[in-house]
Amino acid sequence: MLSISTIVAWWAVSTWVPFYAGQLAAKAGGDTQRWVALAGLYYNLGAILGFWAFGILADAWGRKPTMLLYYAGAVALVLVLFRAVQDPSTFLLIAAVNGFFTVGQFAWMPVYLPELFPTAVRGSAISLVFDVSRSPRRRSSGSATSSGSS
């Protein structure tokens, strides 16, 4: 359930961050494409810092309190980002902090999951957790097969 909530939240937020930055820039008379690109950059720089900090915080406070902090931070920052921010420059700063929490929370997987499973099944179990949240994807009706001459 944590894996699915992390994936769904990330897709929902990361899809709208650049689009919303473009809307704010258009309202302010700025270059829309520039602000869209900057929003993606800031969001992902915040994410990198979030990954890095997660491990340090998990060692210092424990993995569960750190996970709680990241999930609560993600919820709070999503509300602030999309409801309270109207200035493109402020949006970039809040997008970085949002990325810290919304993308940084993916770091719970390599920190927490190895402790849940015995060594003999750890690789298979972790792969299942990582991948099961992506499994309900659309399958194309035709498969790409190589055609050979008969």
Query: Given pLDDT bands bounded at 50, 70 and 90, which one contains residue 126?
Result: confident
In a domain, 148, yes or no: no
Provide the CATH number for the domain around residue 32: 1.20.1250.20
**Is 137 part of a structural domain of the chain?**
no
Instruction: Name which of 16, 9, 5 is nearest 95 in CA terms.
Output: 16
Predicted pLDDT of residue 138: 47
Region 57-77: mean pLDDT is 93
Within a domain: 16: yes
CA–CA dist 27, 115 (Å, integer)? 49
Residue 31: band (very low, low, confident or very high) from pLDDT cuts 50, 70, 90: very high
Domain count, the chain: 1
Is it the case that residue 11 has pLDDT exceeding 60?
Answer: yes
Is 144 among the domain residues? Answer: no
Asked if the structure places residue 34 within a domain, the reply is yes
Average pLDDT, the chain: 84
- Domain of 23 in residue numbering reads as 2-132
Report yes or no on 116 lying in a domain: yes
Contact 8, 72 (CB under 8 A): no
In tens, the pLDDT along 94-104 reads 999 999 999 99
- pLDDT, mean of residues 101-122: 81
DSSP 18-43: HHHHHHHHHHHT--HHHHHHHHHHHH
Answer yes or no: is 140 within a domain: no
Residue 8 lies in a domain: yes
Q: How far apart are CA 80 and CA 98, in angstroms?
A: 9
